[in-house]
A and B are shown apart, each in its own frame.
Chain A
Amino acid sequence: MSEFLQFTFIGLQRGAVYASLAIALVIIFRTTGLLNFAQGEMAMFSTYFVSVAYDAGLPLPAAVVVGVAGGFLLGAAAQVLLVRPVSNRSMGNPLPIVIVTIGLFLGLNGLAPRMPWGETTRPFPVPFGTGSIELLGATLSHRTIGTLLVLASEVAVLWLLFQKTRLGLALRGVASNAESSSLVGIPVNRMLTVGWGLAAAFGTVAGVLSVEGGVDNTLMISPLVFAFAAATLGGFDSELGAVVGGLIVGVFSELVAHYVDLVGQDLKLLPAFVLILLVLLLRPQGLFGRAQVTRV
């Protein structure tokens, strides 16, 4: 039982990371109906920003703020320079934009080791330290607690932003009906830019939370797939779904890895992958999504 609890705790910590990145995926999907394959690599890149700021002497929280701002700019720039011109030309066909996000995935991944911050793994502090407490016979690390608290505050920020601000209302308006939104005076393109920026900002948090020992360009490759599993499970158009989905995916894959020998620690991705297939097969709109997904 305590063993079960132990791995549930670890799963919750991982799941919180997947949830953070899934939030980013959902923000993009809601505003543009796109799967952003570069979300993970954008997060990796802005985690480098955090690392550089931290090494320059800033305290970690301040460095994270710098990275989040950098992530916002990176996301916004990607939208303005690449996504917007392509979507203007592709007339509703999502394929060219998806190819662009895959190109961005490849480009950012290849560019990271070529940047002035160096080719080798950059050391990075473990967020929230290495301490822990005992709970019901299992060890609950400070890191798990901290990570879950960060996720909780992300949810709060998201809720306040989308439900309580004019900007959030406008973003939701654009997500639901861009044409009508422009008719009430909302600058749609600017909102899409803000949406990409926001997504990348949330992604930065996911990047920092997922660091294990150091930052390199493989940081977000597998979290991206887990995050896609989380968003699929929760429903691509639901932030709440992303959070719940992330936690479920985290715990589920951790437990399966521990209890099913065939899977083991190496193949933790397998349960998440199977989850994606099953959700698409049985409930394509996910747990919290609206049933916009149609069969062909």
Chain B
Amino acid sequence: MAGDSRSTGVYGALGSVWATLSTRAAIGPAWLRKAVGWALLAGFLYWIPTYYPESVVTALTKTVCLAIAALGLNLLTGYTGQISVGHGAFFGIGAYTLTILVTDHGWGYPAAMVVAAALSFVVGVIVGLPALRIKGLYLALVTLGLASLFPLAVKRFSDLTGGSQGKRLRPPLRPPEGSGLANDQFIYYVTIAVAVVCFVLVRNLVRSRVGRSLIAIRDNETAAATMGVNITRTKLAVFGVSAMLAGIGGALSVLDSRFVNAGSYQIDRSIEILVAVVIGGVASIAGPILGAVAVVFVPDRLPENLAVWKPVMFAALLIGLVFLAPGGIMGMFKRIGGEARVALARRAAADDGDTSA
């Protein structure tokens, strides 16, 4: 395979640039380093499916879909202090909407995707309104209800959804002619493209005035209220966007699996997304990606006899992380980084002391 020779090259280049980026005495202005970093990341993402076999690419696509949903939940939790146990339901709403519109109504994929996102948003707002008007973690309660209800609704309306038997997505999304891409590669690129848009949007949202008011709300609702932030409306909008992201993740996930059934959108899906967020670290943008890798990519590679322990391991991880690293993995990295810097500073200070003595 041609990738073999290319891989060492890419790794080598990655390694040296990483080393350059991570040392303080880097060459070139900051913007240039940043640009090189992003270009490298883009190149890396582009390169993966040209090298790895279909099974890995598919698993990565799945991971990215979950990461988008986790990004949504992360936005909610990190920036409003609320928690949703129902993002699996929004994931399912997105998946079913896309499947039904494309398969039964002959819609094109882009339009179906937009409607899937919009519907998740609307359901989020309807469900979130009663809970977000009052103080307390009532959103968790309401979304637990939604998560439990969703698979039942799928079964109840099996004419529409295919019920427990499931429903196939037809026609599947095919790569454009002449692109030379395989199905899994094309779907991977589409998913990555949508994911990048979602991540950039959320990043801008968080850094905007809205983002600052979110932080204000999380940290002190009374103060935020006196500052003139309409708390209920802002929270509701955040929850809507959060649900929408989960819906987008769900809709994207069907592109590859091309199949939906009631069993895939039970409450454990919601908890999986929650686990991804807690692993990745609440209130960080990169966290959901790490979390999704830990929740989807790693367990997919576990041996059969360990797979039945997956829920127990997730539970242990969830509880363990709350104990050990309330900020999740990203928080852990930051803390370790901080401690390392403190240690370095200490050593430097000690060296100074030695020389002066």
A residues neighboring B (CB under 8 Å): 35, 37, 82, 85-86, 89-90, 93-96, 98-100, 102-111, 113-114, 221-222, 224-225, 228-229, 232, 264, 266-267, 269-270, 272-273, 276-278, 280-281, 284, 293-296
> Could you say which residues of chain B place their CB within 8 Å of the CB of A281?
129-130, 133
Enumerate B331-355 residues with CB–CB distance to A below 8 Å: none
Inter-subunit contact A266/B156 (CB<8 Å) = yes
Q: How far is the CA of A35 from the CA of B143 in the complex (A)?
A: 13
A35-B140, A107-B316, A267-B152 are known; give 12 further A-B pairs, CB within 8 A: A35-B137, A95-B81, A110-B310, A221-B148, A232-B141, A266-B156, A280-B133, A280-B138, A284-B138, A293-B134, A295-B133, A296-B231
Q: Which of B129, B132, B309 contacts A110 (CB 8 A)?
A: B309
Inter-subunit contact B322/A103 (CB<8 Å) = yes
Inter-subunit contact A98/B326 (CB<8 Å) = no
Chain A residue at minimal CB-CB distance from B231: A296
Chain A residue at minimal CB-CB distance from B131: A280
B271 at the interface (CB under 8 A from A): yes
B103 at the interface (CB under 8 A from A): no
Q: Which of B133, B278, B316, B318 contacts A296 (CB 8 A)?
A: B133
Inter-subunit contact A99/B278 (CB<8 Å) = yes
Inter-subunit contact A100/B322 (CB<8 Å) = yes
Contact of A293 with B136 at beta-carbon distance under 8 Å, contacts A276-B145, A278-B130, A281-B129 already known = yes
B residues neighboring A (CB under 8 Å): 77, 81, 83, 85, 127, 129-138, 140-142, 144-146, 148-149, 152-153, 155-156, 221, 225, 231-232, 235, 267-268, 271, 274, 278, 308-312, 314-316, 318-319, 322-323, 326
Chain A residue at minimal CB-CB distance from B319: A103
Inter-subunit contact B315/A110 (CB<8 Å) = yes
Q: How far is the CA of A232 from the CA of B145 in the complex (A)?
A: 12
Interface centre among A98, A267, A277 (most CB of B within 10 A): A277
Contact of A114 with B309 at beta-carbon distance under 8 Å, contacts A104-B315, A277-B127 already known = yes
Q: How far is the CB of B35 from chain A (nearest CB, A)?
A: 38
Q: How far is the CB of B238 from chain A (nearest CB, A)?
A: 13
Q: How far is the CB of A180 from chain B (nearest CB, A)?
A: 23
Q: How far is the CB of A226 from chain B (nearest CB, A)?
A: 10
Inter-subunit contact B130/A280 (CB<8 Å) = yes
Chain A residue at minimal CB-CB distance from B318: A103
Q: How far is the CA of A266 from the CA of B158 in the complex (A)?
A: 11
> Could you say which residues of chain A place their CB within 8 Å of the CB of B308?
113-114
Q: How far is the CA of A229 from the CA of B308 in the complex (A)?
A: 32
Inter-subunit contact A277/B140 (CB<8 Å) = no
Q: How far is the CA of A104 from the CA of B132 in the complex (A)?
A: 25
Q: How far is the CA of A158 from the CA of B47 in the complex (A)?
A: 65
Inter-subunit contact A293/B135 (CB<8 Å) = yes
Q: How far is the CB of B274 from chain A (nearest CB, A)?
A: 7
Contact of A228 with B145 at beta-carbon distance under 8 Å, contacts A100-B322, A296-B134 already known = yes
> Could you say which residues of chain B place their CB within 8 Å of the CB of A89?
326
Inter-subunit contact A114/B322 (CB<8 Å) = no
Q: How far is the CA of A99 from the CA of B127 in the complex (A)?
A: 21
Q: How far is the CA of A37 from the CA of B316 in the complex (A)?
A: 16
What are 18 A-B pairs at a CB distance below 8 A? A102-B271, A102-B274, A103-B314, A105-B315, A106-B271, A106-B318, A107-B312, A110-B309, A111-B315, A272-B145, A273-B145, A276-B130, A276-B142, A284-B138, A293-B136, A294-B135, A296-B134, A296-B135
Interface centre among B127, B130, B145, B231 (most CB of A within 10 A): B145
Q: How far is the CB of B160 from chain A (nearest CB, A)?
A: 13
Inter-subunit contact B83/A266 (CB<8 Å) = no
> Could you say which residues of chain B place their CB within 8 Å of the CB of A95?
77, 81, 83, 137
Q: How far is the CA of A294 from the CA of B138 in the complex (A)?
A: 12
Chain A residue at minimal CB-CB distance from B266: A221
Q: How far is the CB of A257 from chain B (nearest CB, A)?
A: 11
Inter-subunit contact B145/A106 (CB<8 Å) = no
Q: How far is the CA of A100 from the CA of B318 in the complex (A)?
A: 7
Q: How far is the CA of A267 from the CA of B149 in the complex (A)?
A: 8
Contact of A98 with B137 at beta-carbon distance under 8 Å, contacts A280-B130, A281-B129 already known = yes
> Could you say which residues of chain A place their CB within 8 Å of the CB of B316?
103, 107
Inter-subunit contact A99/B135 (CB<8 Å) = no
Q: Which of A106, A224, A272, A296 contacts B314 (CB 8 A)?
A: A106
Inter-subunit contact A222/B148 (CB<8 Å) = yes
Chain A residue at minimal CB-CB distance from B308: A114
Q: How far is the CB of B268 from chain A (nearest CB, A)?
A: 7
Q: How far is the CA of A105 from the CA of B271 in the complex (A)?
A: 10
Q: How far is the CA of A225 from the CA of B86 in the complex (A)?
A: 13
Chain B residue at minimal CB-CB distance from A273: B145
Q: How far is the CA of A110 from the CA of B155 in the complex (A)?
A: 24
> Could you say which residues of chain B place their CB within 8 Å of the CB of A228?
141, 144-145
Chain A residue at minimal CB-CB distance from B129: A281
> Could you say which residues of chain A place their CB within 8 Å of the CB of B133?
280-281, 284, 295-296
Inter-subunit contact B318/A110 (CB<8 Å) = no
Q: Which of A85, A100, A270 contacts B149 (CB 8 A)?
A: A270
Q: How far is the CA of A277 from the CA of B123 in the complex (A)?
A: 13
